[in-house]
């Protein structure tokens, strides 16, 4: 199984990466291979809402007009057997980079059938890591559930974590990685 992890944090040594690595470690122990993409390091614009009515090529052709890293990231996503979206909780919500990516993916996947192969029914796991008070992780779970639905993903799990319980959550995420491999 090939797992692609897409992170809304730019810090490879941060809490979001730590939680992600725990899941990938568990999966690797059962033979999975993986890659990580740190979205803030990518060239990734927000949706331009191209036309006056708020739509654009996403509606008519199932692709995005913006020439940045969106298409390359999405090709990697299509090729993955499972995708992990890991989000650092910012202002009780999704990080700007993950929000921008998922908004654009949802636009092409929701509307145009030709855009859906490799996106629709893709098994995904969400992780929301709050480094402050912590309660924002639950809002991120709710938001991820909504936007994953727009992308037409098969949502396997969405895990809230906070600074205070990160050690315990990492152990649980490692076990989740093993379980993902056992379930096939």
Site for ligand FMN, rule CB under 6 A? 9, 11, 14-17, 88-92, 129-134, 136
Comparison of 133 and 149: residue with beta carbon closer to ligand FMN: 133
For the chain, list the strands marked E by DSSP.
Answer: 2-7, 33-38, 82-88, 123-130, 154-162
For 28-180, list the strands marked E by DSSP.
Answer: 33-38, 82-88, 123-130, 154-162
Comparison of 119 and 173: residue with beta carbon closer to ligand FMN: 173
Tell me the Cα Rg of the chain: 16
Comparison of 2 and 138: residue with beta carbon closer to ligand FMN: 138
> Smallest distance from the beta carbon of 38 to ligand FMN, in angstroms?
9
> Smallest distance from the beta carbon of 125 to ligand FMN, in angstroms?
17
Comparison of 89 and 125: residue with beta carbon closer to ligand FMN: 89
What are the tokens at 94? 């999704």
> Smallest distance from the beta carbon of 41 to ligand FMN, in angstroms?
12
> Smallest distance from the beta carbon of 71 to ligand FMN, in angstroms?
26
Contact residues for 99 (Cβ-Cβ < 8 A; gap 6+): 8, 46, 93
Comparing CA positions, the residue from 95, 103, 78, 3 lying closest to residue 41 is 95
């Amino acid at each position: 199984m090939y797992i692609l992890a897409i992170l809304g944090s730019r810090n490879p040594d941060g809490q979001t990466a730590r939680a992600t690595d725990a899941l990938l470690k568990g999966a690797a122990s059962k033979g999975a291979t993986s890659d990580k993409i740190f979205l803030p390091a990518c060239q990734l614009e927000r949706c331009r809402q191209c036309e006056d009515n708020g739509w654009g090529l996403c509606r008519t052709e199932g692709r995005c007009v913006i020439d940045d890293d969106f298409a390359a990231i999405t090709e990697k996503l299509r090729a993955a057997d499972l995708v992990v979206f890991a989000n650092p909780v910012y202002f009780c919500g999704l990080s700007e980079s993950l929000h921008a990516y998922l908004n654009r993916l949802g636009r092409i996947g929701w509307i145009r059938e030709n855009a859906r192969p490799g996106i629709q029914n893709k098994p995904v796991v969400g992780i929301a890591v709050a480094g402050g008070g912590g309660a924002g992780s639950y809002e991120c779970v709710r938001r991820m559930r909504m936007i994953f639905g727009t992308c037409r993903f098969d949502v396997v799990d969405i895990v809230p974590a906070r600074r205070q319980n990160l050690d315990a959550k990492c152990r649980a995420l490692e076990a989740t990685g093993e379980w993902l491999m056992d379930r096939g």
